[in-house]
Structure 1
Amino acid sequence: MKRVIVLSLGLLPLVTGCSIFQADPVPPSPALVGVSGQDAAWASQIKRRPDGASFEPLVDAREAVEQARSQPQVESFDAQSLADAEQALASAEAGWQPLAEAKRRPADKLAAVADDAHRAQRLAEIARYTAVREIKLKELLALNEQIEQQQARTAPVRGGSGIARGAAGADNLIGQRVVPDRLGDIEFQTGTARLTGPSQAVVQRLAALMKNNPDYGVAVFGHTDNMGPSDASLERFVQANPGLEEQAPTREQQVRAFNLALSAARARAVAQTLVNDGVEARRIGARGFGDTRPVAANNTADGRRANRRIEAIIVPGPDSQAARQGG
């Protein structure tokens, strides 16, 4: 029996815009030009306090590491980034110690402390945001399982395979994966987020379904296989994401990041096409999973083709009766 995927009304705002699955921007190291500019910039970061001088990049790094340490389950989800952040912070502290009371603080030594501090801050925020993302995903999946169990106990068996039209049948597809199961596959030109011609027609059918059922929302999920792009495409991707090399030093990790970005771009492309076809943006959520949710083995062409997919799941919309009743 095909497993029905159910998302509650309360989860639609979490899916929309993917906000809970994306980390806030991680601050880059400051770019400074010229020796005099560096000297002035570092000097401006030193603050005189009653208990001694402090260096602002180090203060920010300490705060970020402490927040990461206090984030629930951070050790379970990204212990390595936290450990690396703590190591970078320790290096920054050691570098700052002889400078704290010094009358002269060479710019190159302050720069070394700042580099370690910024690295500690970036890694700490990566660890914290990873834990937040994974916790939210676990909550979503747990709630999904709970709703499935409730429906199995209380919901009548629904007959027929046609797509419901109009308000009278608006609940018939809640929790159903209409793409690809009912409306067809959505595909893209290789390595891009550009829909193929036949896929445009599938999205138009999905848009018509949404417009005919104003109580519906839709969650659009993008997936890829585990194959990477060409070396040239991967290099362009890395160059377009300056922080990627530090966060994903191996080619395998860079490929995974590329696939995640591609799947998200494809999900957003479907969402944008729905908006262009007249569906309100607030009724649509989009998220990419990259190659993390395969449905077949990636060691065959057929398996990889199955893994490259868009899934569209009908959920209660923001104007549904469930929304008006508070979920």
Structure 2
Amino acid sequence: MVKSSIIVKVSTIFLLIFFALSSCKEKHTPKKELSTSLKKESILFSEISFNKKSDYQSTDLKSLVLTFKDIIYTLKFVEDRTYLQYKLDNKIVTDWHQISYNFNYDSSYEDAEKNIKILYNSSINKGFLLLPGYTEEYPVFNVYSFDKDGIKYLENISTDDPNCLSFSKQKIEGIALGQDVSFRTISIQKEKRCLLKKEKKDDLNTQTIETDLQKITGNNSSTKKQVSIPSGEYFATNEQLDDYGISLKFEKDSIIYTESGNMGKIYNQYLLKADKTVDGKSFLKYSQLINGYIGDADKPLYFGNIKYNQSQLLFESEYMEKKYGIKNIILKK
């Protein structure tokens, strides 16, 4: 009986150990699957070759054109400022807007051109345009993300490690995981990888945008004359918009759209431009971010159209309809 009892106890212990090991194995399996899933979701953006064509000898507006596949970037220079137009399949996706590109501070047109990089992933048709930024101690790149819908200023990247980044010696690659993206360098000689840190975005000079755009497009007629609207700020009168401080301001050659809070804090502010006038309606396009976030401001073909009638503006906007559920708005001074 004693021997039988010992056998039963030993058998029971083996069974408990077996179930414990099985349980541990099952618990570890999801972690392995999760790790595999995360690896599959990461997307790599690598440097690609592209063509460059410049016109730095022009006495009018100097320019630089970058092309690869069916994408065309055209940079035009007005004094110390740079403007970019983005085309896909020879169609304008994002029209002229100011960008941050250092070709003058301890640099030149030729030197800056050499330091431009394009990272691209052909499977998803997305990428990043990296432009040399303003720097004193170590290199900085201004990062613009692009896809079929447009191009936008993402962030600045850099490092304070002199062994990690120089404009010409290292290649850069981007790694996207969900909505997050990081950048790292790859040294061709040492195969050393350095993670680049994010820097504060550059502040752009928005005071001369309209004048600059007129020089670039060859359109010398002022926005004020195009829309025939007295200068000043016009505020939305719709009760549903009382808490949002919606306004359009016409001053000199600019049209500024503003969203602000009850205490006057500005949340979003965009520079608009009058594109055309049909049957008394002036059609406005998004041109430049002044404050806040772009959101869907640059998504529609037109931000909206306005018609001036007896000291008030009749504003019809797909942007407003999508964001606030109101398409037709009346604005008054």
Q: Which has the higher strand share?
A: 2
Q: Which has the higher contact order (CA 8 A, sep 6+)?
A: 1
Q: Which has the higher helix share?
A: 1
Scaled to the shorter chain, the TM-score interval is: under 0.3
User: TM-score, normalized by length of structure 1?
Assistant: 0.26
User: TM-score, normalized by length of structure 2?
Assistant: 0.25
Question: Is the radius of gyration larger for structure 1 or structure 2?
Answer: 2
